[in-house]
């Protein structure tokens, strides 16, 4: 797993007023895809955020279950 797991916010070089979320990469394809989906969810659409968050939670729980044996 990558050590840069903290999300960060950056400004666009071409437009300093535009904020961009930099999605952390874990090295796990399923988790990374779920993180990307959550970052891409429209914050003005709570249903999208909740659905993407639920899929991320399920993926994380699955990985934790895999660790537990």
- What's the pLDDT score for residue 1? 45
Chain segment 10-35, per-residue pLDDT in tens: 555 666 666 677 888 999 999 999 99
Chain segment 46-55, per-residue pLDDT in tens: 999 999 999 9
**Nearest-10 crossing angle of helices 29-40, 46-68:** 160
- Helix, strand or coil for residue 38? helix
- What's the pLDDT score for residue 21? 75
First vs last Cα of the chain: how many Å apart? 19
What residue segments make up the domains of the chain, in order of their start?
Answer: 8-68
């Amino acid at each position: 797993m990558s050590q840069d797991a903290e999300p960060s916010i950056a400004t666009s070089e071409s437009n300093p007023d535009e904020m961009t979320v930099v999605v952390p990469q874990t090295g796990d394809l399923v988790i990374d895809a779920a993180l990307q989906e959550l970052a891409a969810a429209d914050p003005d659409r709570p249903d999208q955020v909740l659905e993407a968050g639920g899929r991320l939670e399920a993926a994380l729980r699955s990985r934790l279950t895999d660790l537990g044996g």
